[in-house]
Homo-oligomer: A and B are copies of this chain.
Amino acid sequence: MLKETRYSYNELTLELVQNLKAIVGEQYVIYDDVERLEQFSHDETPGDYVSMPAAAIRPRTAEEIAAIIKLANRENIPITPRGAGSGLSGGAVPIYGGLVLSVDRMNSILEVDRDNMMIEVEPGVVANDINEHIEPFNLFYAGYPMSLETCFIGGNVAENAGGGKAVKYGVTSRYVLGLEVVTPTGEIIELGGKLVKDVTGYNMVQLMVGSEGTLGIFTKIILKLLPLPKIQADLLCLFKTSDDAISAVPKIMTGGGVIPTSIEFMDSHSVQAACEYLNESLPYEDCGAMLLISVDGMDRDVIEEQYITIGKFCQEAGAIEVYVADNPSTSERIWKVRRNIAEAFSLIEKRQFNDDIVVPPASIPAAIAKLEEISAKYQVQIPCFGHAGDGNIHARVLCRKDWDDKKWAAMQPVILKDMYQMIREQGGRLSGEHGVGCKRKKYLNQVVSEEYINMLRTVKRAFDPNNILNPGKIFDV
């Protein structure tokens, strides 16, 4: 259980619960019901990131959220906003108790604006539903993350989620053009709009994107869409060693003049675990490492030329074998393996932590080599996989079978210190797409300067003078 006590808040009284019920309707306040509240006490972060709220509330409109936030300011009650709860940094965990505010009922697709190639949605829309909804119009939303089938777009924006296609298309932030936001003091403000360019004031939209629910709750989101690429092809490139595979990445990125949509790295541990979990078999799944490289576009000939170019680079970099999957069913088989790695490791060893290292793309080989050193030093398994084309690697550290829980608790910070030392040396950061949340907060000053953290504090204090909205996340004020 993770409960913080640095700041003090008031208890949620029965009277306040009545007030909340008056705002959203009785059935949308969950109180005094441990069983139903349990789901709001955690997200999907492995480990002990669990803290019970006093109540959960499920508003339907921005006006209701504004009223809730105003009440919380007046009564000094903390609010933790929540999307689908699929986050990986404890961002939605109510570490000060109080109120969890779920946007799950705000799940309408408000408008598909085909002429502007934009879509307006509420925060509770599942990311994948956006693409299913717009596919008939030959449009495409490129910002979604790996958890697209469950995550909410509101959470994606709050975390600035990255995804499999970020190498070519960038992360969520690139597609967020407008937001309706309820501020930490309960004002409803429109930021940005259906505008591709706009320099009328500071870029408040991008300040909000990735603010992890600490600067505002998004109630409407305008996203930019792209023409749907007609053709996609995937290359599965097998290498003898992780080093061979990962060293190929910067060469692919800079050498061929082709920007793939994805360059996913999977070491042998990751591939084997996922294949076993899925009862799937990939060719040479016991090779040292794989790169899964995708290209997309409008023209089959161009795509073919691109994957031939990339395949050649891989072979020059020492690939043993290069397979092309240019039909949807083979593609899906391979991608399913990639998407299920995290889940597979959750079953192998419950005691683990997953990191979301990001370094300059060209430093990926050095980072992976260092992780292997750390793995050898502590004799722990550190399967690595992730978005190598972006410099973003998910490194899971699995507890040794011969360590008890106490030893594991003691060793985690020791191992992390080594990892973050490496990240700092490489000019990297704690998180590429999962966020800091409550999970990485205590390590923040290991990789960024105190002056920078102070600048974040300055912003937070200016927006949320009572520290009501998602307190204790990213940094302490």
Instruction: Take A189-B455, A204-B456 as given contacts and tell me if A391 and B195 are in contact as well, using a CB distance cutoff of 8 Å.
Output: yes
Contact B456 A201 (CB under 8 A): yes
Contact B475 A201 (CB under 8 A): yes
Cα distance A387–B257 in the bound complex, in angstroms: 27
A216 to chain B minimum Cβ distance, whole angstroms, is: 10
Contact B210 A207 (CB under 8 A): no
- Does A227 belong to the interface (CB within 8 Å)? yes
- Does A200 belong to the interface (CB within 8 Å)? yes
- Does A436 belong to the interface (CB within 8 Å)? yes
Cα distance A359–B195 in the bound complex, in angstroms: 6
A305 contact set on B, CB distance < 8 A: 299
A452 contact set on B, CB distance < 8 A: 189-191, 201, 204
Contact A202 B211 (CB under 8 A): yes
A204 contact set on B, CB distance < 8 A: 452, 455-456, 459
A391 contact set on B, CB distance < 8 A: 195-197
A432 contact set on B, CB distance < 8 A: 195, 197-199
Contact B201 A436 (CB under 8 A): yes
The digit string for A387-403, where 1 denotes a CB below 8 A from any CB of B, is: 10011100000000000
A400 to chain B minimum Cβ distance, whole angstroms, is: 29
Q: Which residues 168-222 in A have Cβ within 8 Å of B in the complex?
A: 170-171, 173-174, 183, 187-191, 193-204, 206-207, 209-211, 215
Contact A358 B115 (CB under 8 A): no
In the complex, the chain B residue whose C-beta lies closest to that of A216 is B455
A9 contact set on B, CB distance < 8 A: none
A116 contact set on B, CB distance < 8 A: 250, 360-362
Contact of A444 among B201, B202, B227, B434 (CB under 8 A): B201
In the complex, the chain B residue whose C-beta lies closest to that of A463 is B458
Which segment, of A35-43, A73-81, A235-243, A423-431, faces chain B? Answer: A423-431
Contact B166 A197 (CB under 8 A): yes
In the complex, the chain B residue whose C-beta lies closest to that of A253 is B117
Contact B463 A358 (CB under 8 A): no
Task: Give the residue among A197, A228, A259, A449 with the most B Cβ atoms within 10 A.
Answer: A197
Contact A173 B115 (CB under 8 A): no
Contact B451 A187 (CB under 8 A): yes
In the complex, the chain B residue whose C-beta lies closest to that of A173 is B203
Cα distance A424–B362 in the bound complex, in angstroms: 46
Contact A210 B203 (CB under 8 A): yes
A200 contact set on B, CB distance < 8 A: 358, 429-431, 436, 440, 444, 447-448
A383 to chain B minimum Cβ distance, whole angstroms, is: 20
- Does A5 belong to the interface (CB within 8 Å)? no
The digit string for A95-126, where 1 denotes a CB below 8 A from any CB of B, is: 00000000000000000011111100000000
Instruction: Take A203-B207, A361-B116 as given contacts and tell me if A189 and B430 are in contact as well, using a CB distance cutoff of 8 Å.
Output: no
A211 contact set on B, CB distance < 8 A: 202
A189 contact set on B, CB distance < 8 A: 449, 451-452, 455
Q: Which residues 257-307 in A have Cβ within 8 Å of B in the complex?
A: 257-259, 298-299, 301-302, 305
- Does A27 belong to the interface (CB within 8 Å)? no
Contact A193 B115 (CB under 8 A): no
Q: Which residues of A come within 8 Å of B, CB atoms?
A: 113-118, 138, 159-160, 162, 166-167, 170-171, 173-174, 183, 187-191, 193-204, 206-207, 209-211, 215, 226-228, 230, 250, 253-254, 256-259, 298-299, 301-302, 305, 358-362, 387, 390-392, 427-436, 440, 444, 447-449, 451-453, 455-456, 458-459, 461-463, 474-475
Known pairs A174-B174, A206-B207. 13 more at Cβ < 8 A?
A: A113-B362, A160-B203, A162-B197, A166-B196, A183-B455, A196-B361, A197-B387, A197-B391, A200-B447, A201-B436, A206-B206, A226-B259, A299-B302
27 A/B residue pairs, CB under 8 Å, sorted by A:
A115-B250, A116-B360, A116-B361, A117-B361, A138-B257, A173-B203, A191-B452, A193-B429, A195-B428, A195-B429, A195-B432, A196-B392, A197-B387, A197-B432, A199-B431, A199-B433, A200-B440, A201-B436, A201-B444, A201-B474, A202-B207, A202-B215, A206-B206, A207-B207, A227-B259, A228-B257, A301-B301
